[in-house]
Amino acid sequence: MNTLKISFAVLKKPTSYFFGGNSVISLKSLTPPSSVKPASISGGPRVYSTFAGTGVRTDFKVNSYSNMAEPDSDHKQGDVAVKDDRIAHISSTIRVIPDFPKPGIMFQDITTMLLDPVAFKDSIDLFVERYKDKDISVVAGVEARGFIFGPPIALAIGAKFVPMRKPNKLPGAVISEEYSLEYGTDIMEMHVGAVEVGERTLVIDDLIATGGTLVAAINLLERVGANVVECACVIELPDLKGRDRLGDKPLFVLFSRYTISFCW
């Protein structure tokens, strides 16, 4: 296995859920491909905010981050292999805001993608191409950003859209799940009766980080007897290992982005 042992000092306090302070860690998933050199080598920080996950090389800058890691064998990326030129453009439109909403979080801001109609449409098309012939009757979207991607996908594949909402927003009878996030905890609710037993269901969100949100959505849907066939997101943050929390539930993402920053 191609493992790089690296001694690092924290530049931007990384997602503190992994580590904090100086330390020696094994960063096999951050090993840059030999053909790709860090953008700033001389003295300054080397930042690997990386773009992998689909086998698609995305050689462009997003904010100041321009380096990439290759997909590695730990990321089960065979099941997310989308090889499509549209993905590079989509990824380039999603900006990263460091330290939002809390120090250490590298916030992936999809609102900048929504300003680019080509990127936004391409993202929807990629999902529709994957799901149009899968006999899916329910697209469940997670508030808030799953409400952006879910409805156009549902309309295009002829499915109903079911909103998975924050607490106390739905007026009818609901079932609830509490869950943890990269930066807090929350509760998700769904209307009882929105999904019928056995319905083939797709769960949509913009991003998977720790996976807590998708796990809550799956739990809610399965509690009412839905058949959750897959979860789909635009972005995966693989260093947060959310995919692992989904167990055997398939996860499809357009691309992955590493969020750890470091220097040495």
Ligand X SMILES: Nc1ncnc2[nH]cnc12
Cis omega (within 30 of 0) for bond into 217:
no
* Sole binder of ligand X in the list 29, 92, 108, 256 (CB under 6 A): 108
233 binds ligand X per the rule CB under 6 A: no
Kindly state the greatest CA–CA separation across the chain: 60
* Sole binder of ligand X in the list 107, 170, 219, 227 (CB under 6 A): 107
Residue 214, token pair as written in the block: 């998708």
Residue 251, token pair as written in the block: 């996860």
- Give the integer Cα–Cα distance in Å for 216 and 233: 15
User: Of the listed 145, 165, 243, 257, which one is catalytic?
Assistant: 145
Q: Are 141 and 151 in contact (CB under 8 A)?
A: yes
239 binds, among ligand PRP, ligand X, none (CB under 5 to 8 A by kind): none
Segment lying near ligand X (by CB under 6 A), choices 26-34, 103-111, 114-122, 218-226: 103-111
C-alpha dihedral sign at 237, 238, 242, 248: positive
Active site residue 243: no
CB of 145 to ligand PRP, least distance (A): 4
Query: Which residues contribute to the site for ligand PRP (CB under 6 A)?
Result: 142-145, 181-182, 186, 205-213, 242
- For residue 20, the tally of other CB atoms under 10 A from its CB is 12
CB of 238 to ligand X, least distance (A): 12
- Give the integer Cα–Cα distance in Å for 241 and 258: 11
182 binds ligand X per the rule CB under 6 A: yes
- Give the integer Cα–Cα distance in Å for 170 and 99: 31
Q: Looking at beta carbons only, is 36 or 183 nearer to ligand PRP?
A: 183
Q: Measure the CA angle with vertex 166, ends 239 and 183; round to 5°.
A: 30
Active site residue 145: yes
Segment lying near ligand X (by CB under 6 A), choices 104-112, 126-134, 149-157, 220-228: 104-112
207 binds ligand X per the rule CB under 6 A: yes
105 binds ligand X per the rule CB under 6 A: yes
- For residue 39, the tally of other CB atoms under 10 A from its CB is 14
Cis omega (within 30 of 0) for bond into 232:
no
* Sole binder of ligand X in the list 62, 80, 106, 226 (CB under 6 A): 106
User: Of the listed 70, 182, 230, 236, which one is catalytic?
Assistant: 182
242 binds, among ligand PRP, ligand X, none (CB under 5 to 8 A by kind): ligand PRP
Q: Are 248 and 216 in contact (CB under 8 A)?
A: no
Which residues are known catalytic residues? 145, 182
Residues that bind ligand X (CB under 6 A): 105-108, 181-182, 207, 209, 237
